[in-house]
Amino acid sequence: MSTMASSQHHGASLRPLDGKVAVVTGGGRGIGRGVSLRLARDGARVVVATRTAETGEEVAQEIIRQGGEALAVACDVADPEQVGEMVAQSVDWAGTVHILVNNAQSFGGRRRSNPRHTIEDYPEEEWLDILRSGLFGTWYCCRAVFPYMKAQKYGKIINFGSNNGLYGQPLKVGYNTTKEAIRGFTKTVAREWGPHGIRANVVCPALESDAMLDARSRPGSMTADPSVVPLGYFGDPERDGGGLIAFLASEDGDYLSGNTICLEGGWHFMP
C-alpha cells in the first residue's frame, strides 16, 4: 500500500540533498519522522516506510505541506517480501535509492514497548521479534537496495545502534544484542560494499523520541533524566537526529564509513 504526494520546487537554491532519493524505515513517528522531515528539507525525495500506513501518510503529507516530495509505503521490515515490494515501489516512483536509513525497530513483542527481563528469563518470542525487526530488517533493506546502489556506484546507508547496547544496560539483553549485531553488520557492509561507492555508518542516539518518553514513564525505568547529560538535554529528533543523518547522507559525509557515532550530548563519558 502506498500513497504519493509531491510538490516541485521552482527556482529554489541548491540544497545538500537535491536530486537524492532517501528511504527511511520507521519513518512514521519519533526519530524516523524527524529524519524524514529533515532529509526532505535538505532536498531529498523521501520514502516514508512504516508498519502503520496512517502514520506514514501523515508524515508524507507534512513533507508535502512544507514543499517537499514524499511517498508513504506501508511495510513491516521483518517481512522480506514486504521489504522487496517497498523498495520496488520506491524505485518505480523515484528511479533509484541513494540513501537508506534503517530506523525501524521493535522493542520486543508487538503488544508491548521496552519490555524488561533478566537474561535467564528472557522470552524467546520477544528475543526473536527484536532480532527480526532490527537485525534482519536492516539486512533485508540493505540487500534490497544494494543492486541500485551498486549500479550507480553510490549509496549512503545509516543504521541505528544504541547506547544501551554499547554499555550493556541490564534487563534489555535482546535489544542490546540486536543493536550490537547491527554495528557488526554495518562494519562488514562498509568493507564489502565500499568498493562500489557505498558508505555505511551507525548512529547511537539519545533523542527525545516517543520511545524515550515511553521508557522513562515506566516504573523502575533506567532511562536517565536529561540532567545527567553533560549538555543538559536529550536531542530533538528532527534538529539533532535529522541534522546528523542529513550530514552523513550528504557529500560532506562522503569519507565517513564503518563508524559508530554517539549522538547523545556527551552522555557516554559519564560513569
User: End-to-end alpha-carbon separation of the chain, Å?
Assistant: 47
pLDDT score at 6: 46
Please identify which residue in the block is written with the cell numbers 545509516: 158
Q: State the average pLDDT for the chain.
A: 90
DSSP sequence for 33-50: HHHHHHHHHTT-EEEEEE
Q: What is the C-alpha to C-alpha distance for residues 113 and 268, in angstroms, rounded to an integer?
A: 24
C-alpha cell at 176: 542490546
* Cβ atoms of 132 and 69 closer than 8 Å: no
User: pLDDT tens digits for 44-100?
Assistant: 999 999 999 999 999 999 999 999 999 999 999 999 999 999 999 999 999 999 999
16-269 carries CATH number 3.40.50.720: yes
Please identify which residue in the block is written with the cell numbers 547506547: 163
For the chain, helix (H) and strand (E) counts, in that order, are: 9, 8
- Domain residue spans in the chain? 16-269
Helix axes 124-131, 173-193, angle to 10 degrees: 30
List residues with catalytic annotation.
175
